[in-house]
Structure 1
Amino acid sequence: MTLPKRVTITDVAEAAGVAASTVSRALSTPGRVNATTRDHILEVAERLGYVPNPSARAMSSGRTHTFALLVPDITNPYFAGAIKGAERAAAAAGKTLVLGDTQESPSVERELVQRLGPAVDGLVIAAARGTDEDLAAAAGRHRLALVNRTLPGVAGVPSVVADYDAGTRQIVDHLVSLGHESLVFLAGPHESWSGARRWAGLLAAAESSGVAARRLGPYQPTLQGGPAAADAALAARATAIVCHNDMLAIGVLRRLAGRGVRVPDDVSVVGFDDMFGADFCQPALTTLAERTEDAGACAIDLLLRPGSAATVVVPTQLKVRDSTGPCR
């Protein structure tokens, strides 16, 4: 089957009886063409089914109308919210969103920035694993916004962060109300900025409440990281376990069930993120919810405002479910 011929600017110009350059101006900078001519050209273009060539538009304008969003693990449901919010905001602005998976690797993240940076108008990196130096270098070459990461001392890099100070306070208050006097935090990757913030918040809240807090790890922030993390928490004789994220927490719940440890009768478990499915597991997981869709959309909005260096703090809320209970 022969594919239909693509309608070009030349075809529109011939049908409208004007020069191709006039058609180009009417479509890209309509203010430079008088209203009558512009309306005529637009009517002809629509009748012929003309669709602008994005590559040609990028060559003439120097802009691709495309943003890239990089996430550490595309299979982690937590990032689905950020992706959905970013896609919604990009579409509303007439932009295309490209998605990249950094595989929890600083080197893969750096390679994707180098490869995608020149091809897009801006980059959003969620839960960046790269060093401050890597991100500063990227910001020097590309328009950049961060989700759940800040870049102190580097001007012009906006960020969207969750309110972990208030959120970790909610977790500790909840555990104290149940009679827990100690907790362990099962940490994720040492490159995780949000993981460091979560631990700092838990430690500060625990100290102010007279609760003993201990950090174990790092562990892989996946279901597969659960067995080793759960065994370490049991060895520490913890009555309350707070996990780096929900994926790790669900892996911990599975391991505890396999070892005959009752949750929450013997030990309480708390996660972070409130990812899709956190309320489906057995028992349903108590976790700190973040507004990930809002964060993804906000990051795109920050890219659309050149020169913005704002740090937007997104509220968090503890979702109390069945995995936490009175201290044994």
Structure 2
Amino acid sequence: MAATIRDVARASGVHVSTVSRTFSAPHLVNAETRNRVLAVAEDLGYRPNRAARALTTGRTHNIGLIVADISNPFFPPLIKAAQAHARTRDYHVFVADTDEDPQVEEELIQTLAKQVDGVLLCSPRLSNRVIERLHAEVPFVVVNRRVKGMPTILMDVGQGARLAIEHLTGLGHRRIALLSGPSGSWTSGEMRAAAAAMDGVELVILGPNAPTERGGLAVAEEVIASGVTGVLAYNDLVAIGLIEGLYERGVRVPDDISVVGVDDIVAGRLNRPKLTSVAMPTAAAGRMAVDLLLQSFDEGATPTLATLDTHLVVRESTDRAALFPRG
């Protein structure tokens, strides 16, 4: 016969309620006791009945994770890290993709709210006003968007933009294009504010742009016409598309124009030239988002704002400014 919760309690030398808490609220159980109970449960082959536990605790032990575009290589490391970390806390993750559509995002939140204990909302396209309204239906942790009164994780793209601009100006670039992302993007706003505050830079804003290779290809003609010698792109996909669009028009990277991306995705490291990029702590953000969401379930928990550092990885797509820049 299958092991029961009473079998685990008896073999562990603890009360049944302690075994229950070990699986439903592990942070409330002493680490030594929790590890002993989990080891005994593993030896006995005990698996808690999730449906019964949900009726008892009012918790599904499911988390929703909503991303703007699952095909964007920025998101999979965050998703994998969140899923793996949630499993260690006995939670399952449902992943949903909005395809950059705020209406789809709202519909997904309303649907998931009936099936999960909370939602991780990553790079949302909804307005803050709508997010605040939906928060009444389900707890949120928001990644890469400031929303008042909610647990929030920010990857410091402002810091990354400053590092990228400093790198370009250090190579002699003075007229620099910032390729923004989708309209209303928090990341674009942070990058623009950081770059605009820097001295010695003539900043050219081009966008909004689709956050894809096609977006980079489409803006290549504008970049050439702008007379810039350096570019900071919204993300690596836009940067990769831009480099292809420049080469199609006879403009070499980095000989004629230097290009910096954001995210440090694998494709950028394999591209030719290898892409200089602002590395984003996506896996760390995924793990922390799970922790903040579970903490938010505690009565009286104070919403936490966490900011994770970014850093610049210099590769082949940037070099010294040409003596006689195009334009």
Question: Which TM-score bucket, shorter chain as reference?
Answer: 0.7 to 0.9
Q: Which SS does the other structure have where 2:146 is aligned?
A: coil
CA deviation vs aligned residue, 1:134-177 (integer Å, no higher than 9, x gap): 1101222211101111113xx2x111111233222211111111
Q: Is the 8 A contact 1:78 1:276 kept in 2?
A: no
Deviation of residue 119 (structure 1)?
0.9
Letter in 1 for 2:258: S
Query: In the aligned structure 2, how far is the partner of 1:239 from the partner of 1:297?
Result: 38
Are 2:251 and 1:269 aligned?
no
Deviation of residue 87 (structure 1)?
1.4
Query: In the aligned structure 2, how far is the partner of 1:52 from the partner of 1:158?
Result: 29
For 2:72, the equivalent position in structure 1 comes to 76
Query: In the aligned structure 2, how far is the partner of 1:54 from the partner of 1:67?
Result: 14
For 2:177, the equivalent position in structure 1 comes to 184
Are 2:220 and 1:199 aligned?
no
Query: In the aligned structure 2, how far is the partner of 1:44 from the partner of 1:71?
Result: 35
Are 2:101 and 1:105 aligned?
yes
Letter in 2 for 1:250: I
Are 2:237 and 1:247 aligned?
yes
Q: Which SS does the other structure have where 1:302 is aligned?
A: helix
CA-based RMSD of the aligned residues comes to 2.6
CA deviation vs aligned residue, 1:15-74 (integer Å, no higher than 9, x gap): 9xxxxxxx99686369xxxxxxxxxxx999986x66433223222321011111111010
Query: In the aligned structure 1, how far is the partner of 2:93 from the partner of 2:86?
Result: 6
Letter in 2 for 1:323: S
Q: Is the 8 A contact 1:240 1:267 kept in 2?
A: yes
Letter in 2 for 1:311: L
Query: In the aligned structure 1, how far is the partner of 2:304 from the partner of 2:220?
Result: 39
Q: Is the 8 A contact 2:175 2:227 kept in 1?
A: no
Q: Mean alpha-carbon deviation: is it higher for 165-174 or for 312-321?
A: 165-174
Distance 1:221 1:45, change over 3 A: closer
Query: In the aligned structure 1, how far is the partner of 2:232 from the partner of 2:46?
Result: 56
Q: Which SS does the other structure have where 2:184 is aligned?
A: coil
Letter in 2 for 1:180: H
Q: Which SS does the other structure have where 2:270 is aligned?
A: coil
Deviation of residue 308 (structure 1)?
3.4
Query: In the aligned structure 2, how far is the partner of 1:137 from the partner of 1:8?
Result: 44
Q: Is the 8 A contact 1:245 1:273 kept in 2?
A: yes
Letter in 2 for 1:222: T
Letter in 2 for 1:92: T
Are 2:167 and 1:167 aligned?
no
For 2:309, the equivalent position in structure 1 comes to 315
Are 2:83 and 1:91 aligned?
no
Q: Is the 8 A contact 1:181 1:211 kept in 2?
A: yes
TM-score calculated relative to the size of structure 1 = 0.83
CA deviation vs aligned residue, 1:241-298 (integer Å, no higher than 9, x gap): 1111001111111111222211000101111111122110010011111111011111
Percent identical: 36
Q: Which runs of 5+ in 1 are unaligned?
A: 1-5, 16-22, 31-41
Q: Which SS does the other structure have where 2:96 is aligned?
A: strand
Pick the aligned partner of 1:258 from 248, 253, 268: 248
Distance 1:250 1:44, change over 3 A: closer
For 1:28, the equivalent position in structure 2 comes to 20
Q: Which runs of 5+ in 2 are unaligned?
A: 8-14, 23-38, 323-327
Letter in 1 for 2:232: V
Deviation of residue 212 (structure 1)?
0.3
Query: In the aligned structure 2, how far is the partner of 1:87 from the partner of 1:106?
Result: 24
Are 2:151 and 1:158 aligned?
yes
For 1:19, the equivalent position in structure 2 comes to none
Letter in 1 for 2:170: S
Q: Which has the larger radius of gyration?
A: 1
Q: Is the 8 A contact 2:110 2:137 kept in 1?
A: no
Query: In the aligned structure 1, how far is the partner of 2:307 from the partner of 2:280?
Result: 11
Query: In the aligned structure 2, how far is the partner of 1:118 from the partner of 1:7?
Result: 31
Q: Which SS does the other structure have where 2:274 is aligned?
A: coil
Q: Is the 8 A contact 1:138 1:144 kept in 2?
A: no
Q: Is the 8 A contact 1:168 1:198 kept in 2?
A: yes
CA deviation vs aligned residue, 1:112-150 (integer Å, no higher than 9, x gap): 100001211111011011011111012222111011111
Q: Which SS does the other structure have where 1:88 is aligned?
A: helix
Pick the aligned partner of 2:216 from 219, 226, 229: 226
Q: Is the 8 A contact 2:121 2:142 kept in 1?
A: yes
Letter in 1 for 2:261: G
